[in-house]
């Protein structure tokens, strides 16, 4: 079965309790369930992960890139959290392995503080979903599948 990845960066393990007025009250486990339902319908195997560590996210991106090159995966939905705004290393990892990535942000980062307006990931992303709450993950999975498989 073909895989798809959903990667989450720092502090997203706190979803549900962290600034609910910004990020909502659903937890990361709820997000995983939504993604699983979407992937089940699409006939894709979901690999879901969250890490607070930049290096771990880089390792996952490299592994996912290898799986895509081998024809076993279609790409990744990625919410890099605050690393979005700081990480040249994540930019380089995505570019380096040519991983198809849809960048997701739960909040509309462009309505927030200026430091959130810059993304190092966007220039190497296939697409971006911003500001639709956790439903953005489902939209991103759908968009990725459509972009890669036409389905
Ligand atoms: C976020 C937006 C980032 O600016 C922030 O650092 C996060 C979450 C979002 O999903 O809206 O951790 O990526």
pLDDT for residue 151: 79
List ligand 1's pocket residues with C-beta within 6 A. Answer: 11, 79, 81-82, 84, 105-107, 109, 116
Sign of the CA dihedral 150, 123, 40, 63?
A: positive
Residue nearest to atom 9 of ligand 1 (CA): 105
Q: Which helix (H) or strand (E) holds 68?
A: helix 54-69
**pLDDT by residue, tens only, the chain of 151 residues:** 999 999 999 999 999 999 999 999 999 999 999 999 999 999 999 999 999 999 999 999 999 999 999 999 999 999 999 999 999 999 999 999 999 999 999 999 999 999 999 999 999 999 999 999 999 999 999 999 999 999 7
Question: Max Cα separation, the chain?
Answer: 42
Overall pTM surpassing 0.95 (yes/no): yes
Q: 82: CA distance to ligand 1 center in Å?
A: 6
Cβ–Cβ < 8 Å for 101, 78:
yes
Residue from 9, 50, 51, 81 to probe ligand 1 pocket by mutation (most atoms less than 8 Å from CB): 81
């Amino acid at each position: 079965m073909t895989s798809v990845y959903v990667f989450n960066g720092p502090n997203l393990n706190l979803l549900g309790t962290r600034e609910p007025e910004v990020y909502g009250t659903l937890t990361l486990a709820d997000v995983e369930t939504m993604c699983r339902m979407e992937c089940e319908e699409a006939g894709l195997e979901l690999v879901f992960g969250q890490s607070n560590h930049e290096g771990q996210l880089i390792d996952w991106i490299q592994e996912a890139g290898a799986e895509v090159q081998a024809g076993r995966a279609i790409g990744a939905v990625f919410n890099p959290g605050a690393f979005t705004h700081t990480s040249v290393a994540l930019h380089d990892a995505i570019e380096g392995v040519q991983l198809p990535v849809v960048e997701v942000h739960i909040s509309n980062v462009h309505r927030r503080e200026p430091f959130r307006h810059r993304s190092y990931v966007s220039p190497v992303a296939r697409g971006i979903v911003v500001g639709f709450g956790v439903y953005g993950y489902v939209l991103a999975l759908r968009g990725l599948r459509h972009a890669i498989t036409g389905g």
